[in-house]
Amino acid sequence: MDKIILEGMQFYGYHGLFPEENRLGQRFNVDLELYTDTSKAGRTDDMNDSIHYGHAYEIVKQIVEQEIVNLIETVAERIAAALLEHFDELQACRVKVIKPDAPIPGHFKFVAVEIYREK
């Protein structure tokens, strides 16, 4: 299956279980894999035959930056649902939501949730 990849998108959101997270906010990174047949777009060189990744970026940005939820699991589910609904040609997607500054004690690179959803 062909895929379009958007990796390392960075946003500022207010998700988390703690009031400080909802008030102060923090960084969130998102990676996407959008599974679709790219052969027609490759032949026609027409964006209408593909998934416009600029539109995908804006969908993710709106969900991460404008909605407030407790869990990054919820953020990931909302992103996947919105993408699958918006793009008819999207057959499946992998969404990874990364919380690099999660308020947990200890040293770590990041905390993340990755999901795979199909139509």
Active site residues per annotation: 99
Q: For the residues of 80-107, what is the DSSP string, one character each?
A: HHHHHHH-TT--EEEEEEEETT-S-SS-
Find out whether 72 and 101 touch, Cβ atoms under 8 Å.
no
